[in-house]
Amino acid sequence: MASEFDLIARHFTPATLPPEAGVALGVGDDCALLAPRPGQRLAVSVDTSVAEVHFPAAAPAEAVGHRALAVSLSDLAAVGAETRWCLMALSMAEPDEAWLADFARGFHALCAATGTALVGGDVTGGELAIGVTVMGEVPPELALTRSGASAGELIAVTGALGGGAGGLALWQRGERDLAHPLLARYLRPQPRLAAGLALRGLATAAIDISDGLLADLEHVLEASGVGARLEPSALPLAEGLVAALGDDAACRAALAGGDDYELLVTLPAARLTTARQRLADVGLALSVIGEVNEAPGIAGVDASSVRGWQHFGARTPRRRP
């Protein structure tokens, strides 16, 4: 049986990194030695993806590798950080070389696409789970946080919503074609790193939508000490969502489905045009979906129907893909 060191050497040692990667010492020693650039804050986040909780165990390994890194990078996007480095810890019942090779292919491809250097790894026996720590940089005055929203500002989201829940629903119905736009959104989410950078200096608060729009908006409202009114008819629904789920379920998926990995931001109306231009430059739409106000809570949505979805719809299947 291959040792942990063999597996890491074979699958998780990236190609030689250029000097600008800021890696003085990478995979293979007790620690990596990294060189953050002067004047930057280090932005650090970790997420664990557990089979049958966060992704289906039968999902293609390449997609699992992509997804495990993508969900962590999404948190860097939410603070407006530039991604730089990551660490990956994987546990699996038995070393499966073919699965690991596919997993590593998906992981390394997203590393390359985003400019993230893998600087350390750990492979161990256990339930199939992947923990990914990401590190990025952001100038201190430009970091986007959850606490900066003010009454009177707009609430806006990047891209489209509901695709994560829609893709999960399709997977549970037996759809396996990763080219399907909803399944792609669920299993191969694209972290909105470019959007986070584009919204530096424009957004007053930001969060990535991992748990569902309402749940994540609530985090922003609580941290900022404000409330909100949403306009559900303004929600940008993912391509194919209404066709797959029907109108009502599509709207609930967009409000509470989770796993969308879009950014939710607040910003003054006077900055909207500039923000939309910058996002258009990176190929994304920015949709205004409501307004920040002083009344606590979220107005404009039928909370009872959404709560039902959260309990019986989105939450439960997320744990049983």
Count residues binding Mg ion (CB under 5 A): 2
- Does 259 participate in binding Mg ion (rule CB under 5 A)? no
- Please list every residue from 19 through 78 that binds Mg ion, using CB under 5 A: 75
Q: From the CB of 48, what's the least distance to Mg ion, in Å? A: 13
If we measure between CA atoms, which residue out of 291, 156, 154, 146 comes closest to residue 222?
A: 146
- Helix crossing, 247-256 with 163-172: angle to 10°? 120
Site string for Mg ion, 203-222 (x = CB under 5 A): -----x--------------
Residues composing the chain: 321
Distance of CA 260 to the CA centre of its chain: 7
Residues 6+ apart with CB under 8 A from 82: 76, 115, 136, 137, 138, 193, 197
Residue 259 Cβ, how far from Mg ion at the closest point, in Å?
12
Q: Nearest approach, Cβ of 78 to Mg ion (angstroms)?
A: 5
Cβ proximity to Mg ion: between 204 and 210 the closer is 210
Q: In whole angstroms, what is the distance from residue 115 CA to residue 117 CA? A: 7
Looking at the Cβ atoms of 250 and 266, the one nearer to Mg ion is: 266
Q: Let me know if 109 is exposed, middle or buried by CB neighbors in 10 A (0-12, 13-18, 19+).
A: middle
- Ligand-binding site membership of 96 (annotated): no
Annotated ligand binding at 248? The verdict is no
Identity of the residue, 153 or 208, whose beta carbon is nearer to Mg ion in the bound complex: 208
Q: Which is nearer to Mg ion, 82 or 208 (CB)?
A: 208
List residues binding Mg ion (CB under 5 A). 75, 208
Q: What residue numbers does the annotated binding site for ATP cover?
A: 121-122, 146, 210
